[in-house]
Amino acid sequence: MSTPEAADGAGNTEYGRKAFKRSKSHFADRITADGRDGWPVEAGRYRLVVSRACPWASRALVSRRLLGLESALSLAVADPIQDDRSWRFTLDPDDRDPVLGIRFLHEAYDKRETDYPGGVSVPAVVDVPSGELVTNDYQQITLDLATEWRQLHRPGAPDLYPEALRAEIDEVAEGIYRDVNNGVYRAGFATTQQDYETAYADVFRRLDLVSERLRNQRYLVGDTITEADIRLFTTLVRFDAVYHGHFKCNRNKLEQDPVLWAYARDLYQTPGFGDTVDFDHIKRHYYVVHTGVNPTSIVPVGPDLSGWLTPHHREQLGGRPFGDGTPPGPVPAGEQIPAGHRP
**What amino acid positions are annotated as catalytic residues?**
54, 185
Amino acid identity, position 241: A
Amino acid identity, position 321: P
CA–CA distance, 157 with 146 (Å, rounded to integer):
9
How far, in Å, are 11, 22, 183, 271, 310 from residue 189 at the CA level? 14, 11, 10, 33, 33
Smallest CA-to-CA distance from 99 within 76, 79, 81 is with 76
Residue 77 backbone dihedrals phi, psi, to 5 degrees: -110, 120
Radius of gyration of the chain (CA): 19
The alpha carbon torsion through 243, 65, 60, 314 (nearest 10 deg) reads -40
Around 99, how many Cα atoms within 13 Å sit in the side-chain half-sphere?
21
CA–CA distance, 246 with 250 (Å, rounded to integer):
9
How far, in Å, are 79, 236, 284, 343 from residue 304 at the CA level? 23, 15, 16, 8
Smallest CA-to-CA distance from 189 within 121, 139, 238, 246 is with 246
Smallest CA-to-CA distance from 302 within 273, 285, 274, 279 is with 279
Residue 47 backbone dihedrals phi, psi, to 5 degrees: -130, 125
> Do residues 250 and 292 lie in contact, with contact meaning Cβ atoms separated by under 8 Å?
no
CA–CA distance, 219 with 270 (Å, rounded to integer):
13
